Structure 1
Amino acid sequence: MRRRDLLKLGAVAAVGVPSATVAAQAATKAPADPAAPPTAPGPLSEKTARETILLDADWRFHHGDIPFPKVRGDSPTYDSTKAGAAGGAAAIKYDDSGWRALDLPHDFVVEGPFDPDENPAQGYRPKGKAWYRKTFTLPASDRGKQLELRFDGVAVNATVWVNGDVVAHSHSAYSAIIVDLTANAHYGDTPNVVAVRVDADPIEGWWYEGGGIYRHVWLVKRPPVHLVADGVYAHPRRREDGRWVTPIEASVGNIAEAAKQATVDVVLLDPDGRPAGQARVSGTVNALETTVLRTEILVDAPRLWSVDDPALYTVRTRVVADGQDADELVTPAGFRTQRFDPAQGFFLNDKPLKIQGVCIHQDHAGLGVALPDSIIEFRLRRLKALGCNAIRSSHNAPTPALLDAADRLGFVVMDENRVFNVSPDYTRMLSWLVRRDRNHPSVVLWSVFNEEPLQGTEAGYQMVRRMAKIVKDLDDTRPVTAAINNGMFNPVNVTQAVDVVGFNYQIKEYDRFHAAHPNLPLTSSEDTSAVMTRGEWVTDMKRNVLAAYDDEFRPWGATHRAAWKAIAERPYLAGAFVWTGFDYRGEPQPFTWPTASSSFGIMDLCGFEKTAFYIHQSQWVRDRPVLHLVPHWNWTGREGQQIKVMAFTNCDTVALRLNGKLISEQKNNLYEGLTWQVPYAPGRLEAVGMTGGKVVTRAVVETTGAPVALRLTPDRSALAGDGRDATPIRVEAVDAKGRPVPTAQTPIQFAIEGGRIIGLGNGDANSHEPEKGDRRSLYNGLAQVIVQTAGATGPLVVTARAEGLKPAEARIAVRPV
Structure 2
Amino acid sequence: MRSIILLAFFSLYFTFTSHAQERLSSTINSNWLFLKGDTTQAGAAAKWQPVSVPHTWNAQDVLDDEPGYYRGTGWYKKTLYIPADWKEKEVYLYFEGAAQVAEVFINGKPVGKHIGSYTFFSFPISRFLKYNAAGNTPNQLVVKVDNSHNKDIPPLTGDYTFFGGIYRDVYLQALDKVHFDADNHATNGIFIATPKVTGDNAELRIKGAFVNKSNQKKKLLVRHQLLDADGNVFQELKKNFSASPGQKVSFDQELKHIKKARLWSVDDPYLYRVVSTISEAGSSTVLDEVTNPLGFRWFSFDAAKGFFLNGEPLKLIGASRHQDFKEMGNALSDAMHVRDVGLLKAMGGNFLRIAHYPQDPAILQACDRLGILAIIETPMGNHITETEAFAVNAANIQREMVRQNYNHPSLIVWSYMNEVLLRPQHEKGSERQELYFKNVAKLAQQLEDLTRKEDPHRYTLISNNGNFDLYNRTGLTRIPMLVGWNLYLGWYTDTFEDFGAYLDRHHQELPDKPVLVTEYGADADSRLHSFAPVRFDKTVEYTNAFHQAYLKAILERPFVAAGLIWNLAEFSSEHRVESTPHINSKGILTGDRKPKDGYRFYQANLLKDPYIQIGSKEWQLRTGFAASETNLTCTQAVVVFSNQPAVSLKLNGKLVGTASTEQGVVRFHVPFINGLNRIQAYASLDGAEITDQTDIQFDLLSQNLRSNALPFKTLHVSLGDQRMFYDEAAGQVWLPEQAYQPGSWGYVGGKVYTMENTTRHSYGSDKNILGTALDPVYATQRTGIEQFKLDVPAGDYEVTLHFAELVSGIKKEELAYNLGDGKQTAEDFEERVFDVSVNKKRMLSGLSNTGYLYPERAVSSKINVSVKHNEGITIGFKPLKGEAILNGIQVRKIR
Q: 1:613 aligns with which of 572, 594, 599?
A: 599
Q: 2:208 aligns with which of 223, 228, 250?
A: 250
Change (3 A) 1:539 1:649: closer
User: Following superposition of structure 1 onto structure 2, how do residues 724-739 of structure 1 map, counting pairs within 5 Å?
Assistant: none
Change (3 A) 1:312 1:538: same
Cα deviation digits, residues 744-763 of structure 1 (max 9, x gap): 5279xxxxxxxxxxxxxxxx
Determine if the alignment matches structure 1 residue 503 to structure 2 residue 485.
Answer: yes
Whole-Å Cα distance in 2 between the matches of residues 430 and 386 of structure 1?
31
Determine if the alignment matches structure 1 residue 468 to structure 2 residue 429.
Answer: no
The answer for the alignment partner of 2:578 in structure 1 is: 591
Whole-Å Cα distance in 2 between the matches of residues 6 and 565 of structure 1?
61
Aligned-pair CA distance for 1:263? 2.5
The answer for the alignment partner of 2:346 in structure 1 is: 385
Determine if the alignment matches structure 1 residue 562 to structure 2 residue 506.
Answer: no
User: Following superposition of structure 1 onto structure 2, how do residues 485-500 of structure 1 map, counting pairs within 5 Å?
Assistant: 485-486=465-466, 488-489=468-469, 490-500=472-482
Whole-Å Cα distance in 1 between the matches of residues 328 and 194 of structure 2?
37
Whole-Å Cα distance in 2 between the matches of residues 289 and 766 of structure 1?
64
Letter in 2 for 1:550: Y
Cα deviation digits, residues 527-555 of structure 1 (max 9, x gap): 22x111224324999xx983211348xxx
Whole-Å Cα distance in 1 between the matches of residues 614 and 18 of structure 2?
57
| Alpha carbons 1:6, 1:53 under 8 Å: kept | no
Letter in 2 for 1:146: E
The answer for the alignment partner of 2:235 in structure 1 is: 277
| Alpha carbons 1:254, 1:290 under 8 Å: kept | yes
SS in 2 for 1:143: helix
SS in 2 for 1:408: helix
Gaps of 5+ in 1: 12-42, 70-87, 89-93, 120-124, 553-557, 707-741, 748-764, 771-817
SS in 2 for 1:549: helix
Sequence identity, in percent? Answer: 26
Whole-Å Cα distance in 2 between the matches of residues 157 and 340 of structure 1?
37
| Alpha carbons 1:114, 1:768 under 8 Å: kept | no
Determine if the alignment matches structure 1 residue 227 to structure 2 residue 175.
Answer: no
Aligned-pair CA distance for 1:479? 0.7
Whole-Å Cα distance in 2 between the matches of residues 51 and 259 of structure 1?
24
The answer for the alignment partner of 1:101 in structure 2 is: 50
The answer for the alignment partner of 2:101 in structure 1 is: 157
User: Following superposition of structure 1 onto structure 2, how do residues 339-358 of structure 1 map, counting pairs within 5 Å?
Assistant: 339-358=300-319
User: Following superposition of structure 1 onto structure 2, how do residues 627-666 of structure 1 map, counting pairs within 5 Å?
Assistant: 627-630=613-616, 632=619, 634-636=621-623, 638-639=625-626, 640-666=633-659
Determine if the alignment matches structure 1 residue 118 to structure 2 residue 67.
Answer: yes
SS in 2 for 1:310: coil
Change (3 A) 1:618 1:494: same
- Count of residues in Structure 1 that have an aligned counterpart in Structure 2: 647
Change (3 A) 1:68 1:662: closer
The answer for the alignment partner of 2:264 in structure 1 is: 305
Q: 2:336 aligns with which of 372, 375, 378?
A: 375
Letter in 1 for 2:487: Y
Whole-Å Cα distance in 2 between the matches of residues 512 and 353 of structure 1?
23
Aligned-pair CA distance for 1:233? 1.0
Aligned-pair CA distance for 1:315? 0.6
| Alpha carbons 2:318, 2:344 under 8 Å: kept | no
Letter in 2 for 1:211: G
Determine if the alignment matches structure 1 residue 442 to structure 2 residue 410.
Answer: yes
Determine if the alignment matches structure 1 residue 536 to structure 2 residue 528.
Answer: yes
Aligned-pair CA distance for 1:139? 2.3
The answer for the alignment partner of 1:236 in structure 2 is: 194
Whole-Å Cα distance in 1 between the matches of residues 612 and 7 of structure 2?
47
Whole-Å Cα distance in 1 between the matches of residues 589 and 64 of structure 2?
25
Q: 2:666 aligns with which of 652, 667, 674?
A: 674
Aligned-pair CA distance for 1:301? 1.3
The answer for the alignment partner of 1:395 in structure 2 is: 356
TM-score by length of 2: 0.66
Letter in 2 for 1:397: P
Q: How much is the aligned-residue C-alpha RMSD, in angstroms?
A: 3.5
| Alpha carbons 1:5, 1:55 under 8 Å: kept | no
Aligned-pair CA distance for 1:514? 1.1
Structure with bigger gyration radius? 2
The answer for the alignment partner of 2:35 in structure 1 is: 62
Whole-Å Cα distance in 1 between the matches of residues 652 and 26 of structure 2?
61
| Alpha carbons 1:227, 1:253 under 8 Å: kept | yes
The answer for the alignment partner of 1:689 in structure 2 is: 683
| Alpha carbons 1:638, 1:680 under 8 Å: kept | no
Cα deviation digits, residues 480-511 of structure 1 (max 9, x gap): 11112256553451221211221211733211
Whole-Å Cα distance in 2 between the matches of residues 511 and 145 of structure 1?
60
Determine if the alignment matches structure 1 residue 745 to structure 2 residue 694.
Answer: no
Aligned-pair CA distance for 1:212? 1.2
- Structure scoring higher RCO (CA < 8 A, sep ≥ 6) equals 1
SS in 1 for 2:398: helix
| Alpha carbons 1:688, 1:697 under 8 Å: kept | yes
Aligned-pair CA distance for 1:636? 4.6
Cα deviation digits, residues 588-625 of structure 1 (max 9, x gap): 75617x72212111000111011111111111112323
The answer for the alignment partner of 2:777 in structure 1 is: none
| Alpha carbons 1:248, 1:294 under 8 Å: kept | yes
SS in 1 for 2:449: helix
The answer for the alignment partner of 1:579 in structure 2 is: 566
| Alpha carbons 1:60, 1:133 under 8 Å: kept | yes
| Alpha carbons 1:654, 1:665 under 8 Å: kept | yes
| Alpha carbons 2:221, 2:238 under 8 Å: kept | yes
Cα deviation digits, residues 707-760 of structure 1 (max 9, x gap): xxxxxxxxxxxxxxxxxxxxxxxxxxxxxxxxxxx975279xxxxxxxxxxxxx
TM-score by length of 1: 0.72
Q: 2:24 aligns with which of 51, 59, 71?
A: 51
Cα deviation digits, residues 657-677 of structure 1 (max 9, x gap): 434555443332107x33344
Letter in 1 for 2:179: H
Whole-Å Cα distance in 1 between the matches of residues 394 and 578 of structure 2?
34
SS in 2 for 1:159: strand
SS in 2 for 1:745: coil
Change (3 A) 1:622 1:325: closer
Cα deviation digits, residues 639-686 of structure 1 (max 9, x gap): 433423222222212334434555443332107x33344443243333
Aligned-pair CA distance for 1:175? 1.8
Range with bigger deviation, 625-634 or 607-616: 625-634
Gaps of 5+ in 2: 385-389, 425-433, 489-498, 627-632, 700-725, 732-767, 774-895
Cα deviation digits, residues 324-349 of structure 1 (max 9, x gap): 67111111111111111222211222
User: Following superposition of structure 1 onto structure 2, how do residues 65-104 of structure 1 map, counting pairs within 5 Å?
Assistant: 65-67=38-40, 99-104=48-53
Could you list the structure 1 runs, at least 4 aligned residues long, displaced by more than 6 angstroms after superposition.
5-11, 765-770
Whole-Å Cα distance in 1 between the matches of residues 478 and 624 of structure 2?
60
Letter in 2 for 1:605: G
SS in 2 for 1:67: helix
SS in 2 for 1:700: strand
Change (3 A) 1:6 1:380: farther
Range with bigger deviation, 657-666 or 333-342: 657-666
